């Protein structure tokens, strides 16, 4: 029997603390029991105190259309996660609107990050 391997954890130090994070997958955005015109890029984030959080980086549909390649969308979502952790320290029970305000991506922000990440 082969054992499935987990992708590695990425370490990052920000103004709010030290974290390790791992991409978990892309899924439809659901808020308040309703599907929204967006996709969530889910990350597990482990803080320096040992707390584990599930952080959704919400990518609006318009932004996803502009970022045609899946790899580009993931790189932009990861960059937004890191940017959000610079100013926001995750906490248990954080409501989606609070996390969306820190980690959500509209088309303009997605374009900005994609340009910064371009080779």
Kindly state whether residue 24 falls inside one of the protein's structural domains. yes
Q: Inter-axis angle of helices 70-87 and 96-103, to 10 degrees?
A: 110
Q: Which range marks the domain in which residue 80 is found?
A: 10-117
- Global pTM reads 0.88
Q: Please report which confidence band the pLDDT of residue 119 belongs to, taking 50, 70 and 90 as the band edges.
A: confident
Alpha carbon distance 33, 74 (integer Å): 25
pLDDT for residue 3 is more than 60: no
Kindly state whether residue 4 falls inside one of the protein's structural domains. no
Kindly state whether residue 5 falls inside one of the protein's structural domains. no
Number of domains making up the chain: 1
Kindly state whether residue 58 falls inside one of the protein's structural domains. yes
- What number of other Cβ atoms are within 10 A of residue 58's Cβ? 22
> pLDDT tens-digit profile of 56-88?
999 999 888 888 778 889 999 999 999 999 999
Alpha carbon distance 96, 65 (integer Å): 23
2: burial class by Cβ within 10 Å (0-12, 13-18, 19+)? Answer: exposed
């Amino acid at each position: 029997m082969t054992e499935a391997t987990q992708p590695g954890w990425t370490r990052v130090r920000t103004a709010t603390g030290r974290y390790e994070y791992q991409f978990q997958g892309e899924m439809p955005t659901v808020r308040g029991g309703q599907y929204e015109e967006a996709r969530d890029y889910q990350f597990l984030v482990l803080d320096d105190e040992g707390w584990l959080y599930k952080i959704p980086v919400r990518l609006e549909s318009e932004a996803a259309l502009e970022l045609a390649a899946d790899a580009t969308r993931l790189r932009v979502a990861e960059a937004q996660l890191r940017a959000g952790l610079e100013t926001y320290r995750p906490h248990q029970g954080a409501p989606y609107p609070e996390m969306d305000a820190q980690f959500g991506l509209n088309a303009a922000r997605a374009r900005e990050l994609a340009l910064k990440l371009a080779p």
